[in-house]
Amino acid sequence: MKMIMQTRTWLFLFVISILYLSVLTGCGINILPTERPPEESTPPAGTESAPDETTQEEDQIIITPTLAPTATPGPIDELVAVLAESSGLNQRKFLGLTGEDWINLIVSLALMLLGIFLIAHLVYSILMRIARASTGKYDDLVLESVGIHIRRFISMMFIQFATNRLMFLNPELKQALNQAYFTVYVIIGTMLAWRLIDLGVEIYEEKIIAEGEKENPFLPIIRRVGYIALLLTSAIMILNNLGVNVTGLVALLGVGGLAFSLAAQDTLADAISGFIILMDRPFREGDRIEIQDLGTWGDVIAIGTRTTRIRTRDNRLVIIPNSIISKSQIVNYTYPDPRYRVQIEIGVEYGVNLHEVREIIIKAVRDVEGVLQDKPIDVLFLAFGDPALILRIRWWIVSYVDTRRMFDRVNEAIYLALNQAKIDMPPTMYDVRILKDLNSDQTSYPKAPPNDNTLSD
């Protein structure tokens, strides 16, 4: 059914083309080759010559393309000419075409059908057999993805050959047809390259997923850059073939791009910063980060081209421009290792056995659920406080997510253990004295000590 639909499509296009040529002929529009005026001779010496055509073309946006030379008759044309002359068909005309022209038209139609429905499928079948016989893992997959574009390319080659061999078409019409064929070639090549880009990204994504890695957020950027480069290249090729002065057009676009970049410099700065973040990957989607300059702390939801979205612990979505993130200091609590070390400071009374206190605290912390057993628990004598000895306790947990819960559990365990061992944790006390002058009803306060900068800490 699919082949029948393709056959009807190509036959419909060919019939439409024939009817179009016939209508042009019936309306008096000449499609046959015309005689060109004789070339002007070189002006004699001493006379002023015309302006340089090359300089004029450089100043023009649209340049008239040079007509292609008239096709040389081939063996098939010679055979058709002999057949038409021997049968007398070249003496008859129908719709402005001689019998020889109609025979050549039928031969061209046969060549089109041969190329579209036989040669194209034959070449594709041979390539598929070669791909399946090879040891490559993706050869047949690639060929199946781009096979339809290969068949279209071969079909267009036969269509172009079939129309270029028609001697009754004038050079202007052939030139227009060749420009149309070139545009179709570029479109087919663009579609083929587009599919290859998609296929390459899909294969890479399947590979990294199979290896258990996270999806690379840089892949969409690569795909978009590939699309843009492909479309720009194709557009330049088509415009250049149609006679558009690409140099002047590119200069015009450059001036417009400069004006746009000046008007949207903040947006471009965000986009460039987003590109750098996706390439350098200081954090990924799902990581918990802290932007210290902004005081923002939460989980990364999405990394976009212009902004990054962070969800805070109170379920608020914060949208931050990438240019601000690139200038700030980022703390990543998840990557490369989600295990997290937390610490607290407590005070114990003077005169206690520090060795005994350490053992009690370490045992209490180690028995808490969620504390990593393969990591050390540190109890450090930090300072002589007032009125207690300051101890710093450090331990490791599985993930930063449980930080607040672990504070609650560990604090409770240490408090109960020290209380059971009858070890006091004295609070900070302040001694406030108020002096009263007996000869005055006013209360006097001690004077502040002199400000002596030479005193050391």
Residue 167 has pLDDT above 60, yes or no: yes
Residue 218 structure tokens:
């840089």
User: Which of 43, 41, 24, 42 is CA-nearest to residue 32?
Assistant: 24
How crowded is the C-beta side of 158, counted as CA atoms within 13 Å?
21
Strand partners, 371: 397
What mean pLDDT comes out for the span 134-153?
A: 78
What mean pLDDT comes out for the span 50-54?
A: 49
Residue 23 has pLDDT above 50, yes or no: no
The share of the chain scoring above pLDDT 90, in percent, equals 18
What is the rounded CA–CA span in Å between residue 233 and residue 215? 29
- Residue 455, classified by CB atoms within 10 Å of its CB into exposed (0-12), middle (13-18) or buried (19+), is exposed
The share of the chain scoring above pLDDT 70, in percent, equals 72
DSSP 3-state assignment of 331? strand
Residue 103 has pLDDT above 50, yes or no: yes
Contact 291, 328 (CB under 8 A): yes
Q: How far apart are the first and last CA of the chain?
A: 94
Please write the tens of the pLDDT for every residue from 266-318: 888 888 888 888 778 888 888 889 888 788 888 999 888 889 999 988 889 99
Between 20 and 163, the more confident residue is 163
Please write the tens of the pLDDT for every residue from 392-409: 999 999 887 778 889 999
Whole-model pTM above 0.85?
no
What mean pLDDT comes out for the span 436-440?
A: 60
What mean pLDDT comes out for the span 430-448?
A: 62
Q: How confident is residue 438, by pLDDT bands cut at 50, 70 and 90?
A: low
Give the model's pLDDT for residue 62: 58
Q: Please, what are the domains in the chain?
A: 267-332 (2.30.30.60), 340-420 (3.30.70.100)
Give the model's pLDDT for residue 408: 92
Please write the tens of the pLDDT for every residue from 208-225: 777 766 666 667 777 888
CA angle 347, 353, 356 (to 5 degrees): 95
Residue 160 has pLDDT above 50, yes or no: yes
What is the rounded CA–CA span in Å between residue 104 and residue 101? 5
Mean pLDDT taken over the chain = 76
Please tell me the least confidently modeled range out of 52-66, 341-355, 432-446: 52-66
Helices H / strands E in the chain, number of each: 13, 12
Residues in the chain: 457
Compute CA distances 74 → 162, 335, 402, whole Å: 12, 71, 84
